[in-house]
């Protein structure tokens, strides 16, 4: 497929990348490209300028602090996270990244790209919401940090505004997490998914049922299905599942994720 | 933009538009038509190649992104008529029917065996999950890869 004409820049510093994004309303950040290049083929997106982030070492890598906090560079690929010794401090992260798409996509696709594209069927938005991640966003005027619950704003929309970049994903210490999904084929696109984390009570984030992850709290796995019902979900229908079936899956998957977190 | 790459040990320098996908650059600009375009949507894996040691689908990369990289394609596997052990195993196990997916299957299996010379059955299947065979000839492909696993 021939893409629409596009300019390409590959900055070597974060400041240059932010300047390039701020200079043109039609500029878009190119991370792993495993979504963006395809939506460009379909003309669903037609940026004027691609700002390739692959030269920015400051956006790569995973660090583990003494208190167990993980600091993840958004340009870390799924495969790098799966292979990271540091990331094992929060095992659910690698478990989920290992079930995204296929080897080739995991070799290129990035943690930051998955979060910033915020497709409602993506794996990582509900996971980051459940584990209580914080996202640091930088612009030319400085940076700010928002909780995952304030990061996802709508379908394909996040708190990252034009001219800004996600620069850091901070995941607090913890091990008692779970994730469950019904997918189109093994490791395929999610029809419905749920992530759960035990931190006093169970915090559960439901994916694929609304524009952004839906957060639900429950005291124990036995209460999860009632808590999901109380959220009065109204999921979209498509060729893969009716809204009613997705709402049913949300209950089932929330309980599965919760039981994994309680193990 | 000027793009310099090494493909299967040969250096190439070409002027390419930023919008050109890496698979089109290989096939149309460098005349290396071994890597195939199956779906052009990132699903089928027929365009799989190895860039700087990493298995990727070349329809989801721009050619300009490959500037300065070392690329391996299916043309680089055999030494003249001497097939690699994996290629010979594909032949011996009838692991190709129409052959369209074969270049991508070979590159995915090559990447697997380099990283893990003794993959389990599960690891072989997981390594090939990004490659679709429309003839559904998966079993013989799996058997071929398994036969060269140590």
B67-103 pLDDT, tens digit each:
999 999 999 999 999 999 999 999 999 999 999 999 9
Last residue of a domain, one of B50, B75, B100: B75
Bridge partners of B50? B55, B72
Tell me: do B132 and B113 sit in the same domain: yes
Tell me: do B90 and B48 sit in the same domain: no
**What is the CA B111 to chain-centroid distance, rounded?**
9
Q: pLDDT value at position A58? A: 97
Tell me: do B19 and B71 sit in the same domain: yes
Task: For each of the domains in chain A, give its residue range(s) and CATH number, in order of start.
Answer: 7-54 (3.30.43.10), 61-171 (3.30.465.10), 177-262 (3.30.390.50)
Tell me: do B38 and B95 sit in the same domain: no
Per the structure, the complete domain to which residue B30 belongs is given by 2-75
Bridge partners of A50? A8, A28
Last residue of a domain, one of B32, B50, B75: B75
Bridge partners of B2? B15
B80 assigned to some structural domain:
no
| DSSP code of residue B74 | G
First to last CA, chain A: 48
Using the structure block, give the residue that is written with the tokens 């538009």. B17
Tell me: do B105 and B141 sit in the same domain: yes
Strands of A49-52's sheet in order across: A7-9, A49-52, A27-30
Tell me: do B65 and B93 sit in the same domain: no
Chain B (119-138) residues lying within 8 Å, Cβ to Cβ, of chain A: 126-127, 129-131
Q: Give percent of chain B above pLDDT 70.
A: 100
B123 assigned to some structural domain:
yes
Using the structure block, give the residue that is written with the tokens 């340009």. A75
Last residue of a domain, one of B21, B40, B75: B75
Tell me: do B95 and B63 sit in the same domain: no
Å between A260 CA and nearest CA of chain B? 23
Are A50 and A28 in contact by the 8 Å Cβ rule? The answer is yes
Two structure tokens written together for A186: 């093994």
Q: Which of B61, B64, B130 shows the shortest C-beta gap to A103? A: B130
Q: Which of B1, B55, B62 shows the shortest C-beta gap to A104? A: B55
Query: What CATH number corresponds to the domain at position B117?
Result: 1.10.150.120
Tell me: do B57 and B97 sit in the same domain: no
Distance CA A90, CA A245 (A): 31
Bridge partners of A63? A71
Q: Chain B residue with minimal CA distance to A10?
A: B65
Tell me: do B6 and B70 sit in the same domain: yes
Round the average pLDDT of chain B to a whole number and report it: 97
Tell me: do B96 and B65 sit in the same domain: no
The total domain count for chain B is 2
Query: Helix B102-115 to helix B85-92 angle, to the nearest 10 degrees?
Result: 130
Distance CA B64, CA B34 (A): 20
pLDDT tens-digit series, residues B100-126: 999 999 999 999 999 999 999 999 999
Q: Give just the sign of the alpha carbon dihedral B99, B103, B107, B108.
A: negative
Q: pLDDT value at position A71? A: 98
On the question of pLDDT at B129 being above 90, the answer is yes
Tell me: do B51 and B90 sit in the same domain: no
Positions of chain A with pLDDT lower than 50, given as ranges: none
Query: What CATH number corresponds to the domain at position B70?
Result: 3.10.20.30
Q: pLDDT value at position A251? A: 98
Q: pLDDT value at position A1? A: 79
């Amino acid at each position: 497929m021939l893409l629409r004409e596009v300019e390409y820049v590959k900055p070597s510093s974060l400041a240059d990348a932010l300047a390039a994004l701020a200079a043109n309303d039609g500029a878009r950040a190119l991370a792993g490209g495993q979504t963006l290049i395809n939506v460009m083929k379909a003309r669903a997106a037609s940026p004027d300028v691609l700002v390739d982030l692959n030269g920015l070492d400051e956006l790569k890598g995973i660090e583990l602090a003494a208190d167990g906090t993980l600091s993840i560079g958004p340009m870390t690929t799924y495969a790098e996270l799966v292979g990271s010794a540091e990331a094992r401090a929060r095992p659910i992260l690698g478990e989920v990244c290992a079930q995204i798409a296929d080897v080739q996509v995991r070799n290129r696709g990035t943690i930051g790209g998955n979060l910033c594209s915020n497709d409602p069927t993506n794996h990582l938005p509900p996971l980051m919401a459940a584990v209580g991640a914080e996202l640091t966003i930088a612009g030319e005027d400085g940076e700010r940090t928002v909780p995952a619950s304030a990061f996802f704003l709508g379908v394909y929309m996040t708190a990252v505004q034009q001219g800004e970049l996600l620069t850091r994903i901070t995941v607090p210490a913890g091990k008692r997490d779970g994730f469950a999904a019904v997918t189109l084929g093994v490791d395929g696109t999610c029809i419905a998914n749920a992530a759960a984390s035990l931190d006093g009570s169970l915090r559960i984030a439901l994916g694929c049922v609304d524009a952004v992850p839906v957060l639900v709290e429950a005291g124990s796995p036995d209460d999860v299905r009632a808590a999901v019902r109380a959220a009065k979900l109204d999921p979209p229908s498509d060729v893969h599942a009716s809204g009613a079936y997705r709402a049913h899956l949300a209950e089932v998957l929330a309980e599965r994720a919760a039981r994994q977190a309680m193990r | 933009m000027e793009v310099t790459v090494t493909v299967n040990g040969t250096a190439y320098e070409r002027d390419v538009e930023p919008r050109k996908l890496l698979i089109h650059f290989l096939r149309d600009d460098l005349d290396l038509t071994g890597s195939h375009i199956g779906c052009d949507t990132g699903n089928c894996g027929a365009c799989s190649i190895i860039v700087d040691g990493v298995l990727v689908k070349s329809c989801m990369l721009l050619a300009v992104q490959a500037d300065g990289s070392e690329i391996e394609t299916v043309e680089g596997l055999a030494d003249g008529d001497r097939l690699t052990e994996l290629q010979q195993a594909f032949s011996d196990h009838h692991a190709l029917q129409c052959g369209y997916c074969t270049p991508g299957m070979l590159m995915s299996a090559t990447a697997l065996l380099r990283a893990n010379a003794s993959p389990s059955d599960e690891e072989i299947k997981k390594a090939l999950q990004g490659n679709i065979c429309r003839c559904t000839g998966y079993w013989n492909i799996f058997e071929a890869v398994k036969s060269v696993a140590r």
